[in-house]
Amino acid sequence: MGGRDAGPYRIDEMIPAEAIAERIGVLAREIEAHFAGTRQLVVVGLLRGSFIFIADLVRALDLVVEVDFLEASSYGNAMQSSREVRILKDLSSGIGGRDVLVVEDIVDTGHTLHHVLKLLRARAPARLETIALLDKPSRREVDIRATWVGFEIPDAFVVGYGIDYAQRDRNLPFIGQVVRPE
Ligand code: 5GP
């Protein structure tokens, strides 16, 4: 089993790089079928966690795509049922009347995706779909599901393949679970 000793915590491999690549190939065919005939698909990556996923996904897609990014920051009191989501970086292009695919790293409580979709829907895209590499359905607080999901995972803190722990570990080629010493 792969993994890395990162000092104060250990990272155990949960999803190998090969499994991610294989799953992206399958999902890309489904996305191509769904958006067949689209003139130019706007693929929107949610920064920063999705940057590696979107890079691999767009290269697997046999569609004309435009790549854009949105950065949202979610924070607030965990005791509150609804968390505030701020937009730190907005899209560079308009999406009115266009087909849009939002690319998220993890859907956890669902607040981030819920707020981002509400914001983008208000701009009247022709079609608005979502893909999440990882989904933690047991953590959901908002009734939302991505159109396509790479892998459903249990309630664990994961890193790698673009996803960080205090800005570290994004460059791991696999998805790993952070394991703290007892
Ligand atoms: P949500 O709004 O769905 O609760 O949060 C989604 C965001 O929380 C993800 O885009 C990601 O940034 C962060 N997140 C959720 N689970 C994890 C995790 O296991 N590891 C890391 N590093 N971030 C996570």
Ligand 1 pocket, residue 157 CB under 6 Å:
yes
Average pLDDT over residues 24-32: 98
pLDDT tens digits, residue range 32-81?
999 999 999 999 999 999 999 999 999 999 999 999 999 998 655 554 54
> Is residue 182 very low, low, confident or very high in pLDDT (cuts 50, 70, 90)?
confident
> Is residue 26 very low, low, confident or very high in pLDDT (cuts 50, 70, 90)?
very high
Q: How far is the CA of 172 from the centre of ligand 1 (A)?
A: 17
Would you state the pLDDT for residue 79? 47
pLDDT tens digits, residue range 141-177?
999 999 999 999 999 999 999 999 999 999 999 999 9
Q: How far is the CA of 121 from the centre of ligand 1 (A)?
A: 22
Ligand 1 atom closest to Cα of residue 158: 19
Q: How far is the CA of 36 from the centre of ligand 1 (A)?
A: 31
Distances from the Cα of 163 to the Cα of 62, 87, 95, 136, 147, angstroms: 26, 19, 27, 14, 21
d(CA 126, CA 178): 40
Question: Measured on CA atoms in the order 155, 158, 161, 167, is the torsion positive or negative?
Answer: positive
Does residue 148 or residue 4 have the better pLDDT?
Answer: 148
- Which residue in 56, 108, 135, 169 is the catalytic one? 108
Would you state the pLDDT for residue 156? 96
Residue 48: burial class (beta carbons within 10 Å; 0-12, 13-18, 19+):
middle
